[in-house]
Amino acid sequence: MRTIIYILQKEFLQIFRNRTMLPIIFIVPILQLLILSYTATFEIKNVDLVVVDMDQSMESRDLVGKFKGSPFFTIKDYTFSYMEAEESLKTGHADQILRIPLNFSKNLERSKEAAIQVTTNAIDGSAASLVNAYAMSIIMDFNKNIVVQDLGLSGDPEPIKITSSFWYNPELDYITYMVPGILVLLVTIIGMFLSSMNVVREKEIGTIEQINVTPIKKYQLIIGKLLPFWIIALFELAFGLLIARLVFNIPILGSIGLIFFVAMIYLLVVQGLGLLVSTMTNTQQQAMFISWFFLVIFIMMSGLFTPVESMPIWAQYINKANPIAYFIEMIRMIMLKGSLLQDIQKPLMALGIYATISLTLATWRYRKVA
């Protein structure tokens, strides 16, 4: 035990003396949390709309007014030329075109039917579907008002009303969904990225041979190498949770102790993977690139940005080997749903098995002559 304490003292001294590592540990994760929470979003706001109103009637102005009053749309320009509006769409100055043809109001009065055209920039398919849904909702509301007026209905035109209740994120705020996932990235960078470069750094500066000929046991060296970043990562998680509560007002409905318990097991997984990478590389650059290669795959398939359920079936099976996906699922359940230990048993058991395998492989792969 005393040997491990001495190794820990040495590791903490090295960490705090390394000026390049300190910003990575304490500044980069916090900036990541503050910036990505606001920018990494699939919400569509401020849709630039070009209006081609060739009718210039009271009805057409009423329809345009509904778009103008929507919080999602910004009227970018008014024009009488559809070709000019289309050019704005091609050059990226507009996201959508609303074209109201001539005799729009007359057709509504005579035949009770009229056509309008909505053209949407669909380079980004998911964004285009949302923008189109917003536009269709406004048009349907306009159409409903016309039907009510034509039928001369009095009183409440909607005898059956539908009200919605949203659980776990009542305001449908995307930040509430993103922040727990970004907290996972914060912990992962400390756990995997830095632990993967820790042992290989000893190889680069030539001190690994000196360590290998000492009477230090293999398990003592590994514990001494991994434990400092395990402690630092938990400290970063605590600071991240504090920012999430005070800055973003993210609710923490579940047990904070359970969050840290899951994080402790998760850190054993990613640190085991980091140590495994460090045993297979000879330079910090190699360790960084290999770790980044796996991190990119894990992050993009983790469900951080898009639901895992929307992936192809084969990708969902591959994702069962993704530790980040398990931790993101559990931290969102605990923070936003107030889930208990029995609710997260399966992913937690998977992380436990993963931690055992990764640490065993890393320990077996590390060669020490002593």
d(CA 365, CA 370): 15
The pLDDT assigned to 103 comes to 87
CA dist., res. 76 & res. 234, Å (int)? 48
End-to-end, the C-alpha distance of the chain in Å comes to 18
Instruction: For residues 287 and 199, give the distance between their C-alpha atoms in angstroms, rounded to a whole number.
Output: 10
Ordered structural domains, the chain, with CATH: 2-40+170-365 (no CATH), 47-145 (3.40.1710.10)
pLDDT for the residue numbered 305:
78
Q: Provide the 3-class DSSP secondary structure of residue 48.
A: strand
How long is the chain? 370
**pLDDT tens track, the chain, 370 positions:** 778 887 788 778 877 777 777 777 778 777 888 887 777 666 677 889 999 999 988 888 999 999 988 888 989 999 999 999 999 988 888 999 999 998 888 888 777 778 889 999 988 777 788 888 889 989 888 887 776 665 555 555 555 566 777 788 887 778 888 899 889 988 888 888 778 877 787 777 777 767 767 777 877 878 888 888 899 899 989 999 999 999 888 889 999 999 999 999 999 999 999 888 888 888 888 888 888 888 888 988 888 877 888 888 998 888 888 999 999 999 999 999 999 999 999 999 999 999 999 888 888 887 654 4
DSSP per-residue string spanning 34-76: HHHHHHS------EEEEEEESS--HHHHHHHHHHHHSTTEEEE
Position 267 scores a pLDDT of 94
Q: Of 78, 47, 37, whose CA–CA distance to 60 is shortest?
A: 78
